[in-house]
Amino acid sequence: MSDANVLLTAAARRLRTTTPDLPATEIERFVRRFLDRADAFLAITRRHGSPLYVLEERVLRDRTARFTRTFQAELPAVAVYYAMKSNNHPAVARIVAESGLGLDVSSGRELAVALDCPAHHIVFSGPGKTDDELRLAAAHRDRVTVLMDSFGELERLERAAADAGEPVRAGVRLTTDEGGLWRKFGIPLSDLPRFAKATEQCPHVRWGGLQFHTSWSMDPTAQTGFIARLGAALEALATERRERIEFIDIGGGYWPAKGEWLHATATPAGLVRQAVAPVQRPSGSHHRCPSTPIEEFAREIGAAVREHLLSRVDCCLWMEPGRWICNDAMHILLTVIDRKGDDIVITDGGTNAVGWERFENDYFPVINLTRPALTERPCYVLGSLCTPHDVWGYFYHGQDIRPGDVLLIPTQGAYTYSLRQEFIKPLPKTVAL
């Protein structure tokens, strides 16, 4: 079959792929939650202006407590570390630490913030740690566990710990995909026996754990699949090395239960149509990639851990949720500053506040708090940056939209604030609700 026919066949298959519709009733329920609190958001805008990040401490504490409670009900010994990269605002780190979570950091900069928080336990993960970062971790070995990413990092951590004069607690990351870009992270599972042997030559590295991570998990399949693989590898590991394992960190990647909401143009079929015949504004239909409630994640992961891991190793289970914890705890407030036509407005904030062209594909309701309504109307809602990709949405919920109206973009807590960019316009300030 020629390359052209292969591509046409693949395109035809994608065109037949259906992505579940997002029911209008569900969108309305979601929007109503925020319209019911419109006065509080409007009051914040009157006091502080806009654009704004709005942080809801109560939501953050509730999500933290629910995640911990849910997994502790399924597993005997669980430690939870919040992944700071998902939202690295210092107040977020402080609140989750005050709520009893540890912190998972991926850089020396994040580590410095975490050390200023009341977190008693910090895990330092991520590839390419510098010597200075490893020395900082070694200097705070009473609070920091280093998750090593390679054989080379083991050698450099040994030197940093030797210079500090005391052993450093450490684990090693295992890659979940030995063939793709995820090779960037950790060592292959097949290298675990060799790595465990290498740690025996590093007296200042107290190796006692394993870590892996899957990402964008809509259900537990990826986690439970690797847990089974890891269990088989542990069975083959020498007993004296297996007995050194004090913790297994199963990472994060849990997607919020409402799933991923998409414009029609971002579905598999929509991407093909967009490539062939681009459209300026998506249709009024919205779609969802469904996700799994956290209780189901906990049940299935708990069962897999008991079967494949705890049957072979007596250890504590660690996990590193990020998105699931912070997603619903931060929103963005904007003000309309220009109406260029009945179907196009400009706001005072640009998408440098989220750091990527998120809303060209991802669908989030744009809620007009000033002229509230559950009706969704077509309109280009654009930011004030000098780029056509500065899009907040193609629709808004409201009676009308005019200059001075305050708009809410809800649930922007994950992978937005952390990715913000100093690009053209100032970044919003953060206020607490």
- Separation CA 289–CA 75 (nearest Å): 28
Task: Name which residue leads in pLDDT, 11 or 103.
Answer: 103
For β-strands 247-249 and 260-263, DSSP reports them as unpaired
Tell me how far the alpha carbon of residue 365 is from its chain's centroid.
20
| Residue matched to tokens 């026996």 | 193
State the virtual CA torsion across 265, 271, 275, 276 in degrees, nearest 10: -80
Give the orientation angle of helix 192-199 with respect to helix 151-164, to 10 degrees: 20
Quick one: pLDDT band at residue 7, thresholds 50, 70, 90? low
Domains of the chain and any CATH numbers: 22-54+330-432 (2.40.37.10), 57-258+292-326 (3.20.20.10)
Mean pLDDT of 407-423: 97
Sign of the torsion angle spanned by Cα atoms 386, 391, 395, 397:
negative
> Sign (positive/negative) of CA torsion 340, 344, 346, 350?
negative
Q: How far is CA 301 from the centre of its chain?
A: 19
Q: Give the chain's mean pLDDT.
A: 94
| pLDDT value for 148 | 98
> pLDDT value at position 329?
98
Coil, strand or helix at 417: helix
Q: Give the model's pLDDT for residue 11.
A: 52
pLDDT score at 424: 96
Peptide bond into 51 cis (omega under 30): yes
- The predicted pLDDT at position 175 comes to 96
pLDDT at 10: 55
Residue 257 and residue 146: Cα distance in Å, rounded?
31
The string of DSSP letters for 23-45 reads -HHHHHHHHHHHHTTHHHHHHHH
Identity of the residue numbered 205? V
Residue 124 parent element (H or E) = strand 122-124
In this prediction, what percent of the chain has a pLDDT beyond 90? 87
Is the model's pLDDT at 3 over the cut of 70?
no
pLDDT of residue 273: 75
Asked if residue 248 lies in contact with residue 209, where contact means CB atoms within 8 angstroms, the answer is yes
- Per-position DSSP letters for 135-190, written without gaps between them: HHHHHTTTTEEEEE-SHHHHHHHHHHHHHHTS-EEEEEEB-S-TTSGGGGSSB-GG
- pLDDT, one tens digit per residue, over 135-180 is 999 999 999 999 999 999 999 999 999 999 999 999 999 999 988 8
**Least reliable range by pLDDT among 133-137, 217-221, 281-285, 324-328:** 281-285
Residue 283 — pLDDT band, cuts 50, 70, 90?
confident
pLDDT at 364: 97
Largest CA distance in the chain: 73
Check residue 46 and give its pLDDT. Answer: 98
Q: How does pLDDT run across 70-124, given as a tens digit for each residue? A: 999 999 899 999 999 999 999 999 999 999 999 999 999 999 999 999 899 999 9
Residue 2, pLDDT above cutoff 90? no
* Percentage above 70 pLDDT, the chain: 96
At residue 217, does pLDDT exceed 60? yes
The per-residue pLDDT for 280 is 73
pLDDT (mean) for 209-216: 94
Once rounded to an integer, what is the mean pLDDT over residues 306-320?
97
**Can you give the C-alpha Rg of the chain in angstroms?**
24
Within 13 A of 119's CA, how many CA atoms are on the CB side? 35
